[in-house]
Amino acid sequence: MYRDLLGKNRVKLGLHHHTTASDGRKTPEELVAAYRAAGYDAVALTDHWAYQNGGEIGGLPILSGAEYHIQDQYRADEVWHIVCLFAEREPDLQQGAAPQTIVDAIHQAGGLAVLGHPAWSLNKPESVERIVGFDATEIWNTTSGVGACRRPDSSLIVDMLARDGYYLPLLATDDSHCLGDRGVPDGPFAFVMAESDDVEPAHLKEVIKRGAFYASTGPELHLLRESDGRFHAVCSPASEIVFFSNLSYALHSVSTGNGITEAWYQAHPGERYVRAAIKDRDGREAWSNPVIL
């Protein structure tokens, strides 16, 4: 557990990981040991079409999970990877199910449905918007940046969805498969810092669903909404703080410097949401969830 800059307790979560139960190169025990050593408070094992119950491995709490993918990376049509988190039982699914069917089955099992790495998958906003019930998406996916495609950051798709009123909490995940094997450095790296005093799954599920967390590959970030449409970003030392909204050109949205720890933003007429992102001197980043105006 960690105490943040605002004096609140937070837990460090890894919410997308693969093991030898599907296409990962590490056993569950090996993967969990690496993330425990990196200071994570809990991880979800989300092997492809292989539901993992919650519990504990090597003293680290395990959150229930699975990943359900449709199509593969060598096909020209759309690829869908949908991560199941916090389900109370295995979703009733068969391979080849449609995306909406997968989302519905995850919900019926008591879980959250997360759209995985939409930039890597080249998911079109209009296709995502036809699916009802996504609970979150990944703004960062480490594995999507260490392979051949180099599309780890889904910020553009996130903003295009939000422009259309499709707002989702934003996760940073590793999607780890190798942990350095064969030169693939896919974690431990990204995480979610959830506002919580514990790692009780039902509680964490609600925290994620309502967006009471920030996503990060290192630094800390909080976006505070003040009166009259004014926003205050508070962070650990950064070299850049940027505010984003549905406007393609937002005035006074970028602050740069050496070790800056805060910035303000005044919402403009026509803006429907604001989110913030930062980068530190080492190039590590953090992202707030969108705040709807």
Q: Do 221 and 289 contact (CB within 8 A), yes or no?
A: no
Q: Do 119 and 196 contact (CB within 8 A), yes or no?
A: no
Enter the tokens of residue 162: 């939000």
CA atoms of 142 and 284, how far apart (whole Å) = 12
Percent of the chain whose predicted confidence (pLDDT) is above 70:
98
Last residue of a domain, one of 216, 248, 273: 216
Least confident stretch, 8-17, 38-47, 182-191, 193-202: 182-191
8-state DSSP, 141: E
**65 shares its domain with 178:** yes
**97 shares its domain with 198:** yes
Enter the tokens of residue 39: 């200071």
Of 133, 155, 91, nearest in space to 287 by CA: 155
Enter the tokens of residue 76: 């020209």
Q: Is 149 helix (H, G, I), strand (E, B) or coil?
A: coil
CA atoms of 45 and 190, how far apart (whole Å) = 15
Find the mean pLDDT for residues 129-152: 94
How many Cα atoms occupy the beta-carbon half-sphere of 119 within 13 Å?
Answer: 20
- CATH number for 280: 2.60.40
Beta partners for residue 115, in sequence order? 82, 137
Q: Do 136 and 114 contact (CB within 8 A), yes or no?
A: yes
**35 shares its domain with 152:** yes
**163 shares its domain with 285:** no
**285 shares its domain with 198:** no
Taking the CB of residue 103, how many other CB atoms lie within 10 A of it? 26
Q: Do 235 and 223 contact (CB within 8 A), yes or no?
A: no
List C-alpha distances in Å: 218 to 38, 151, 194, 265.
Answer: 12, 19, 14, 23
CA atoms of 50 and 43, how far apart (whole Å) = 16
Q: What's the domain count of the chain?
A: 2
pLDDT at 53: 97
- Looking at the predicted structure, is the pLDDT value of residue 154 above 70? yes
Buried b (16+ CB within 10 A) or exposed e, 5-29: eeeeebbbbbbbbbbebbebbbebe
**178 shares its domain with 232:** no
Sole residue written with tokens 């879980």: 111
- Looking at the predicted structure, is the pLDDT value of residue 18 above 90? yes
Last residue of a domain, one of 181, 216, 251: 216
Find the mean pLDDT for residues 209-214: 98
- CATH number for 35: 3.20.20.140
Pairing outcome for strands 65-70 and 80-85: antiparallel
Find the mean pLDDT for residues 14-31: 97
C-alpha 61 chain-centroid distance:
19
Enter the tokens of residue 97: 């199910």
66-125, pLDDT tens digit by residue? 999 997 666 667 899 999 999 999 999 999 899 999 999 999 999 999 999 999 999 999
Find the mean pLDDT for residues 157-164: 97
**158 shares its domain with 112:** yes
pLDDT at 75: 63
Last residue of a domain, one of 216, 249, 283: 216
pLDDT band at 149 (very low <50, low <70, confident <90, very high): confident
**105 shares its domain with 229:** no
**40 shares its domain with 128:** yes
**94 shares its domain with 201:** yes
**273 shares its domain with 182:** no
pLDDT at 251: 67
**177 shares its domain with 266:** no
Find the mean pLDDT for residues 159-174: 98
- The strand ranges marked E within the chain are 2-3, 9-14, 42-44, 55-57, 60-63, 65-70, 80-85, 112-115, 136-141, 170-173, 191-195, 213-216, 221-225, 230-245, 254-266, 273-279, 285-287, 291-292
Q: State the residue range of the domain holding 234.
A: 221-292
254-287, pLDDT tens digit by residue? 999 999 999 999 999 999 999 999 999 999 999 9
